[in-house]
Amino acid sequence: MAVFEGTFAGDLSNLRLGIVIGRFNDLVTDKLISGCQDCLKRHGIDVEPNTGQVDYIWVPGSYEIAMVARQLAFSDRYNAIICLGAIIRGQTPHFDYVASEAAKGVAAASFQSGVPVIFGVLTVDTMQQALERAGIKSNLGWNYALNALEMASLMQQLDSSTRSSSRSDLPPANETIALPRVKNENANTNREY
């Protein structure tokens, strides 16, 4: 039985990362980016724009992050995508909708593409809580970058392992499987809408 675990060492010069950042609450997201870049630099990643290793994509807010992350994940250009944003609770239910859809969208981008898409969107009650998580107490941007490195490494290991021992009777991971429709005998088909 094999054991697989992502690593943070070795040659990372071929690693490509996309970082999607929500501009709304940029006081917080700017700090998350700094923490993220610090981690990546310490692991040998060139974080400068236009060098080819890390691309930065700005979107209006956290709600828009998932759409862009999905596009990047399906581009076959990146080993991992890091999504950074900050959603701070207000006095209306808007927070709940944005936070829920951002989380679901980022997860769907990862599941559908097979590319690690890291959810680095803070969902907090106050600006103070956001700032504490973006640098006052610790900077979660560092953790999100570390998660991306680990998952990119792990997925590369799994890809090479499954390629060498793949089963021909299984469809490729990116192929949609059509499931037969099951008729529900108990369903009321005479509903009026």
Work out the burial of residue 95: count CB atoms within 10 Å of its CB; fewer than 13 is exposed, 13-18 middle, 19 or more buried: middle
For the question of residue 94 being annotated catalytic, the response is yes
CA distance 177 to 58: 34
Q: Which one of 42, 77, 94, 137 is the catalytic residue?
A: 94
CA distance 181 to 169: 22
Region label for 25, one of left (φ > 0), alpha (ψ between -120 and 50) or beta (otherwise): left
Q: Which residues carry out catalysis?
A: 94
